[in-house]
Every structure is written in structure tokens, then in C-alpha cells.
Chains A and B, each alone.
Chain A
């Protein structure tokens, strides 16, 4: 009996514990917004647990304590009735107090989340089926650039993200950094968060949005301000020059075939804006919204057969010869 109980307890602990670690957990906050939300969660959980225990205990007590059956059911017992009335009244009052308290707590905790900051880094994220378009905004138009499925943020600086959706409702959720916020077509939403520790945090679409909802992830990479500035400068440059003849040929294939109709690679003639901007695609950790790590093999696999890897995706199967595929994947992998 005893070891079995121990194992059961261990398993019960491990279950929530599993989500305490890793890169996508509400229980491991990496910034003030997530922390205040976690405090809120704990406060709610503790209060609700106490209330639950109290209620269950009362219920159990009531069940245990058998009441005397009165011989005269119609007789008035004012003392007893007043006592019961007070009990019910007290329970109602306690409920009101608890709910009011939690409401105030929730209000105070979430009010801070919406605060606007003058020095905030401003981004725009647009949800597509099934990927994220990220625009780094800037008062200077030539410092605005597009990327996809991966955002870099400096630590210690608030990040304000304008959220919108192109097709259906999506939801922005990076559990380690902030709460959820929906992306609704035709409506502007915004979310603010700050990352305090460098790290890589995973985000996920949190509103069912179609076939590949599960494959609509993104990364938030929090890094020191200097590293962030370096990354930003690098992203602003045109695509790096191709060094091998393979990459050179791959660029030719990319710009001549259907690829260029939907994707932009700045510095080449490819200027489509229907799919993700690929100017620095190999600098991102994943492709296809968190589906595959961005290695040359993944690029080749993805280009060769996107509909098998991510059925329903708007990336079509573009017929390429094996030579073309090899060259294009080399070109993709060169876009650091």
C-alpha cells in the first residue's frame, strides 16, 4: 500500500512539474507580465482550493452529522432558524467577498499588462493560415523589415505587438512571457510584454484555426540589447551574396520558378508578398512555423513536398528537377 501511494503521489507531482521546465510554460515566467499572471494564477488557485476544501468539508460534515428528525415538522424553532439563516448569510457574504477580492486582484494584475510604454519596441504580427508574419516597425520607413515565425526582443525593454489576422481568428500565446491575445480579422489588438532573462521561448497559436493549427508555432528569442541590435542590423541588409555556384544556380531557379511569385528575397528580383519573407530565412531556427529545423535537408524536404509535411498549407508542390531542388535548398540555406 505504502510504496504504491508514494508512486502515485510522485506521478501526480511530475505531471504539472513537467510543464514547469522548458520553453513554453506559464509556470516558468520570464518577465514581469508572465510573473504577475502567475501570481494571479496562484492566488486564484489557492483561494479556489481553500474555498473548495471548505465547501467539501462542510458538505462532508453535513452528510456525516445526521440531523434529528423532528416530531413536529411544522413547529417553529426560531433559534435554530436564525442560526441557519446567519450561516447562509455568512456563506453568501464570504462568497461576495471572495469574488470581489478576486475581481479586484485580477483587475489590478491585468491593468498593468496593457500599459503603454514610450520606449517600447513596436512590432506587428499578422496571423495567416498557418504562419506568423512579423513586421518590425520604426519611424524611419527604411528600417522597417519583415520576417516570419520568429521574433527577437531585447531583454528589459517592453515589447508592444499589434496583432491582426489575415484570414481567420488566431491567438498569440507565449506562455513564458505573456497571456493570450486573439488575432481577429478586421480588428486591431495589441499585447505588451517584457522579457527579463535571455532565452528562447516558444509561442503557439491558441485558437483553433484550421487543419494545421497545431503547426503554427513561433519563437521569441530574448537577447541582450547589443545582440538584438546586431540581429536587427543584419536583418535589414539584403540577402547575403551567394558564394558557391550551386547557390548561384539556386537563386536563378528561385527567381525564375513559382517561388518568386509568393516570396521576397531582398537583393534579388523575387518580390512576392504572399508567403513569408525569406531574405534571412536560414537565420531562423525553424521553417514552416515550427515544423522543421532550418537545415538544408529540411529546406529540400519542405520544397519537395510541403503538402505531405503540412497538408493544407498554401505552399504548393512546385515541380522541380532533383538538380533544381538541390540548388534551391543550397540557396535557401545560404540566406543567413
Chain B
């Protein structure tokens, strides 16, 4: 009798142990398939690879992949031109006003092949999976996507908490405090 009471609770507790799947290794054919984006002729938007959709678009919502993207953003000097989303010689991401749109295919192609206005091609330096991870992370910096990833910067340099932890204010309109 007691077992009957305990078992459901034990099951419930075990169900809580389910954690998000981390894909540590892609099979080479899958990775090759992930490279097959079909971008529109004007370089903006397009169709993601079939494998990408079949995998369930992991790079846009998987915490581990987003975190990897954040690491790569810091490692590969993205901050040099885009700062932590505020931009520098490269455009800002925070405002969500993106030259080639917020479509993951656009972002992927921008990183892989570069853009004529000065964005270097990182396809040589990064694997396809890494580019997708970076794509997913970069997308979360923009204004209009869900903030599911932690920002790539420390709050201590900022005058206010990172945007996904900040109260909803029109921060940009306020003069920056010192």
C-alpha cells in the first residue's frame, strides 16, 4: 500500500531530472547538410537547410548551443566591430534594425561568407555547427527576439543591467548616467 503512494512521487521526481538535450557531436553528414542554406539572390533571407528544420531548429532555442554561440562571439573578436550589440565599425544588433534582416539564414550567410561592406568571411575559421551556434546567439541580441541567452558582457561595465534582465524602460531615450 505504501509503495503505491511512494511510487508516483518517485516517478514525478525522476521526470524532473529530464534536462535539455545537448548535442555535443554532429554526424558529419548532418553537419554537411547544415551548410546547405539557400539564400535569396539579394543576400537577404532564404530557406534554411532541411536538416536544420528536421533537427527542430536547435540553434535558436537550445540553451547549450546559445551558450556556445556566446562563447564564440567573445572568442572570435565579434566585439571588435559590433561591441556587445551596440556596434562599432560594424552595425548595432540591439536595435534590431538589421541590414540583411533577422532571418537566421541571412545571419548564417553573413558570418560564413562575409558581406561587401566590411564583414569578413568566417567560414574559413569556424565549422558549420559553430556558425549556426553563433547565428542563434546573435539573433538573441536583437530587439525583437526572445532573450533566451545571457548577454555576452558583464553588467559592471554598463550603466544598467543587461537588457534581458532590465525593467522594461525606454533606456535608449534616457541620457546615459555616468
A residues adjacent to B (C-beta < 8 A): 256-258, 260-261, 274, 305, 307-308, 311-312, 314, 316-319
Contact of B26 among A258, A314, A317 (CB under 8 A): A317
A311 and B24 contact, Cβ closer than 8 Å, known pairs A261-B76, A317-B31: yes
Chain A hits for B22, CB < 8 A: 312
In the complex, are the beta carbons of A307 and B75 less than 8 A apart? Answer: no
CA distance A319 to B129 in the complex (A): 11
In the complex, what's the smallest C-beta–C-beta distance from B19 to chain A, in angstroms? 13
How many residues of B are in contact with the other chain, CB < 8 A? 17
Question: Contact mask B1-44 → A, CB, 8 Å, 1/0?
Answer: 00000000000000000000010111010011000000000000
In the complex, what's the smallest C-beta–C-beta distance from B33 to chain A, in angstroms? 12
In the complex, are the beta carbons of B75 and A274 less than 8 A apart? Answer: yes
In the complex, are the beta carbons of B129 and A316 less than 8 A apart? Answer: yes
CA distance A260 to B124 in the complex (A): 10
Chain B hits for A316, CB < 8 A: 127, 129-130
Contact of B25 among A256, A307, A318 (CB under 8 A): A307
CA distance A311 to B130 in the complex (A): 15
A261 and B125 contact, Cβ closer than 8 Å, known pairs A316-B130, A319-B31: yes
Closest residue of A by beta carbon distance from B28 = A319
In the complex, are the beta carbons of B31 and A258 less than 8 A apart? Answer: no
In the complex, are the beta carbons of B124 and A258 less than 8 A apart? Answer: yes
CA distance A312 to B64 in the complex (A): 11
A256 and B124 contact, Cβ closer than 8 Å, known pairs A307-B25, A312-B24: yes
B residues adjacent to A (C-beta < 8 A): 22, 24-26, 28, 31-32, 71, 75-76, 124-130
Kindly list the 8 A-B residue pairs having the minimum CB-CB distance in the complex, ordered from nearest: A307-B25, A261-B125, A311-B24, A316-B127, A274-B75, A307-B24, A312-B24, A258-B125
Chain A hits for B128, CB < 8 A: 319
CA distance A256 to B125 in the complex (A): 9
In the complex, are the beta carbons of B28 and A317 less than 8 A apart? Answer: yes
Most chain B beta-carbon contacts within 10 A, residue among A257, A260, A261: A261
CA distance A44 to B58 in the complex (A): 54
In the complex, are the beta carbons of B127 and A319 less than 8 A apart? Answer: yes
In the complex, what's the smallest C-beta–C-beta distance from B152 to chain A, in angstroms? 14
In the complex, what's the smallest C-beta–C-beta distance from B60 to chain A, in angstroms? 20
In the complex, what's the smallest C-beta–C-beta distance from B150 to chain A, in angstroms? 14
CA distance A257 to B125 in the complex (A): 7
Chain A hits for B71, CB < 8 A: 314
Closest residue of B by beta carbon distance from A313 = B24
Closest residue of B by beta carbon distance from A316 = B127
In the complex, what's the smallest C-beta–C-beta distance from A188 to chain B, in angstroms? 19
In the complex, what's the smallest C-beta–C-beta distance from A303 to chain B, in angstroms? 12
Chain B hits for A308, CB < 8 A: 25
Closest residue of B by beta carbon distance from A274 = B75
In the complex, are the beta carbons of B126 and A261 less than 8 A apart? Answer: yes
CA distance A258 to B129 in the complex (A): 13
Chain B hits for A260, CB < 8 A: 125
With A258-B124, A317-B25 known, 17 other A-B pairs at CB within 8 A are A256-B124, A258-B125, A258-B127, A260-B125, A261-B76, A261-B124, A274-B75, A305-B25, A307-B25, A308-B25, A311-B25, A312-B24, A316-B127, A317-B28, A319-B28, A319-B31, A319-B128
Chain A hits for B124, CB < 8 A: 256-258, 261
A318 and B127 contact, Cβ closer than 8 Å, known pairs A261-B76, A274-B75: yes
CA distance A316 to B75 in the complex (A): 14
Contact of A317 among B75, B76, B125, B127 (CB under 8 A): B127
CA distance A7 to B124 in the complex (A): 63
Closest residue of A by beta carbon distance from B133 = A316
Closest residue of A by beta carbon distance from B35 = A319
Closest residue of B by beta carbon distance from A307 = B25
Chain A hits for B126, CB < 8 A: 258, 261
CA distance A94 to B75 in the complex (A): 58
CA distance A156 to B66 in the complex (A): 49
CA distance A52 to B31 in the complex (A): 61
Most chain B beta-carbon contacts within 10 A, residue among A256, A274, A305: A274
CA distance A289 to B125 in the complex (A): 23
29 contacts between A and B (CB under 8 A): A256-B124, A257-B124, A258-B126, A260-B125, A261-B76, A261-B124, A261-B126, A305-B25, A307-B25, A308-B25, A311-B24, A312-B22, A312-B24, A314-B71, A316-B127, A316-B129, A316-B130, A317-B25, A317-B26, A317-B28, A317-B31, A317-B127, A317-B129, A318-B127, A319-B28, A319-B31, A319-B32, A319-B127, A319-B128
In the complex, what's the smallest C-beta–C-beta distance from A61 to chain B, in angstroms? 43
CA distance A336 to B129 in the complex (A): 32
CA distance A260 to B24 in the complex (A): 22
